[in-house]
Amino acid sequence: MAELKCILWDVDGTLADTERDGHRVAFNMAFEEAGHKREWDVPTYGELLAVTGGKERIAYDIERGDMHEMPYDEIAGLHARKTVHYQNLIGEGRIPLRPGVRRLLEEAYAAGITLGVATTTTPSALDALIEHSLGKEWFDRFAVLAAGDIVPAKKPAPDIYTYAMEQLGVNPENTLALEDSENGWKSAHAAGLKCVVTVNDYTRSHDFTGADLVVSELGEPNADGVEVLQDSHNLALHHVELKHLHTIMQD
Ligand code: XBP
Ligand code: MG
């Protein structure tokens, strides 16, 4: 039984559905621009999401023989162009926050809970999403933005969560993670955190055995109730509220 003091948010798939219409599209724009005959369609991108991190994802596609060999510098250059395209797509305001994200963020912030981000995404891509989808005030409201190559081992390794908690001076027993994918859940779990998962089309069939709560989305009070896929604490909720996160921690 422990008090909830900190919530760490995953980004892609959790704050917003950025993968299919954001990152995937941006990768394809960079490939075309560089003359690579490779397009990641929606199902293929779902397979590639098994590997976290954009540069690592390109390297994996090369490894499985679907893109031609290239040195690491070229992968990094391609990825840098992809990030520019991604920032532009986000700047067009194409990707909204997922239902309930702003509501729960505001509720937790008002309650004095420490809020942070723990993601494998490149920092400048994260900054674009905060600026254009969340609002610039969140640069100050998040006490830590832990992102990208700041740790050598990306999710499912626990490193990014451990790094974020070290920066904040909080303990795992007082921290809860919000995630959308199996790699994310594994990372949070390995760091010793309780975890709430909001699935999306890419992650619905992932294995979240042991997660505290798995729902279709955080939901809103004035909308239909969320779909509950796993409810280890018998919360029987309509939408996810801060009080539910407190219950999960204290259980
Ligand atoms: C998801 C990822 C990222 C993005 C692409 O991160 O694995 O790699 O798909 O971002 P998370 P980059 O769910 O932890 O937010 O191309 O910037 O790596
Ligand atoms: Mg994610």
Question: pLDDT digits over 122-169, tens only?
Answer: 999 999 999 999 999 999 999 999 999 999 999 999 999 999 999 999
Q: Does position 1 have pLDDT exceeding 90, yes or no? A: no
Protein residues within 5 Å, CB atom, of ion ligand 2: 10, 12-13, 180-181, 184
Domains of the chain: 6-17+96-250 (3.40.50.1000), 19-91 (1.10.150.240)
Angle among Cα 238, 208, 12 to the nearest 5 degrees reads 80
Angstrom distance (rounded) from CA 205 to CA 181 = 9
Q: Which of 17, 23, 89 to mutate to test the pocket of ligand 1 (most atoms within 8 A of CB)?
A: 23
* Cα 222 to ligand 1 centroid, rounded to whole Å: 31
pLDDT for position 39: 97
Q: Tell me, using a 6 A CB cutoff, whether residue 125 lines ligand 1.
A: yes
Gap between the Cα atoms of 90 and 79, Å rounded:
16
**What is the DSSP-derived secondary structure letter of residue 133?**
I
Over residues 163-183, the mean pLDDT reads 98
pLDDT tens-digit series, residues 19-29: 999 999 999 99
Q: Distance from first CA to last CA of the chain, Å, rounded?
A: 6
Evaluate if residue 234 carries a pLDDT over 80.
Answer: yes
* Residue with CA nearest ligand 1 atom 16: 54
Instruction: Report the chain's mean pLDDT, rounded to a whole number.
Output: 97
**Rounded-to-integer distance, Cα 75 and Cα 100, Å:** 36
Cβ 151 vs Cβ 159: under 8 Å: yes
Which residues are annotated as catalytic?
10, 12
Residue to mutate (ligand 1; options 47, 57, 60; most atoms within 8 A of CB): 57
